[in-house]
């Protein structure tokens, strides 16, 4: 991975390597997504193994939803980075806060799955899971607003970022709705999170960019 050529051309190089930050972030995403499996409790009674495994289906459902969520976040993280010309220290700390919420996700996932499996305090677990996702959505919005306001870190070819900012900010509202649903019914809340994963799989940012004409001179992501 080489430094972006504009760094050495336009004067002092950027104080932070975008590819290395990307690799570090990728590592956290890959580890968090793989640690999710540890949230499914091992059976305790092997005489009734079939029953115990069957009763863990909510943990498996929570595993699948969180796996999809982190996978899609990785994809959107990739899309955001592909549209950045450079990164700086404030961006690093906003990204670190985002990673802290991603790396934390296995914990509420485990709580959610276990609570649903036991049928105890399921709404508390749903609220906890949704609140984590809400904080995560706030981090995404903060990251994007910082990177895009005044085109601070964007590549030259990126279109007017207002619409993508609206989409990122809407994510906060959407997860606030998820939090509201959590207070009503935990299963509906899990289904809502699954539906959101499908929606985000459609990638708002990619749709915005593909709508704009691509300038031939726009710097390419060097990943």
Q: Which of residues 116-145 bind its own copies (CB under 8 A)?
A: 118, 120-121, 124-125, 128
- Site track for its own copies across 11-40, x = CB under 8 A: -xx-xxx-xx-xxx-xxxxxxxxxxxxx-x
| Partners of 154 in the β-ladder | 84
Is-contact 25 95, C-beta < 8 A? Answer: yes
CA distances in angstroms from 16 to 21, 52, 87, listed in the order given: 8, 50, 7
* Helices and strands (H, E) in the chain, number of each type: 10, 0
Nearer to its own copies, 149 or 222 (CB): 222
Q: Tell which positions 150-169 bind its own copies, by CB under 8 A.
A: none
Per CB under 8 A, does 61 bind its own copies? no
Nearer to its own copies, 49 or 173 (CB): 49
DSSP secondary structure letter of residue 56: T
Cα within 13 Å of Cα(132), Cβ side: 23
- Site track for its own copies across 181-210, x = CB under 8 A: --------------------x-x--x---x
Which tokens belong to 146? 């910082």
**Smallest separation (angstroms) from its own copies to the CB of 121:** 4
Per CB under 8 A, does 115 bind its own copies? yes
Per CB under 8 A, does 80 bind its own copies? no
Which of 55, 75, 159, 177 forms a contact with its own copies (CB under 8 A)?
Answer: 75
Stretch that binds its own copies, among 45-53, 144-152, 168-176, 188-196 (CB under 8 A): 45-53
User: What gap in Å lies between CA 32 and CA 37, rounded to an integer?
Assistant: 10
Nearer to its own copies, 135 or 169 (CB): 135
Nearer to its own copies, 115 or 137 (CB): 115
Sign, CA dihedral 2-98-174-73, equals positive
**Smallest separation (angstroms) from its own copies to the CB of 210:** 8
Nearer to its own copies, 5 or 180 (CB): 5
Nearer to its own copies, 41 or 188 (CB): 41
| Partners of 84 in the β-ladder | 154
How are the residues of the chain apportioned to helix, strand and coil, as percentages rounded to the nearest 5?
75, 0, 25
**Smallest separation (angstroms) from its own copies to the CB of 54:** 10
Cα within 13 Å of Cα(136), Cβ side: 24
Is-contact 80 148, C-beta < 8 A? Answer: no
Binding residues for its own copies, rule CB under 8 A, total 75
């Amino acid at each position: 991975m080489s430094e972006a050529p504009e760094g050495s051309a336009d004067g002092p190089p950027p104080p932070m390597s975008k590819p290395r930050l990307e690799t570090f972030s990728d590592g956290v995403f890959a580890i968090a997504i793989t640690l999710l499996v540890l949230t499914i409790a091992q059976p305790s009674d092997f005489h009734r193994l079939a029953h115990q495994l069957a009763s863990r289906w909510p943990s498996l459902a929570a595993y699948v939803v969180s796996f999809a969520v982190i996978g899609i976040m990785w994809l959107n993280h990739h899309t955001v980075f592909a549209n950045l010309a450079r990164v700086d220290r404030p961006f690093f700390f906003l990204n670190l806060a985002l990673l802290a919420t991603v790396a934390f996700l296995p914990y509420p996932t485990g709580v959610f799955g276990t609570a649903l499996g036991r049928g105890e305090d399921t709404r508390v677990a749903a609220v906890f899971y949704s609140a984590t996702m809400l904080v995560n959505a706030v981090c995404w919005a903060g990251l994007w607003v910082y990177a895009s306001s005044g085109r601070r870190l964007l590549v030259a070819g990126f279109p007017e970022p207002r619409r993508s900012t609206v989409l990122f900010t809407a994510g906060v509202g959407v997860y606030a709705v998820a939090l509201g649903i959590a207070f009503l019914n935990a299963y509906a809340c899990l289904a809502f999170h699954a539906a959101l994963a499908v929606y985000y799989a459609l990638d708002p940012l990619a749709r915005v960019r593909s709508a704009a004409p691509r300038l031939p001179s726009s710097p390419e992501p060097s990943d």
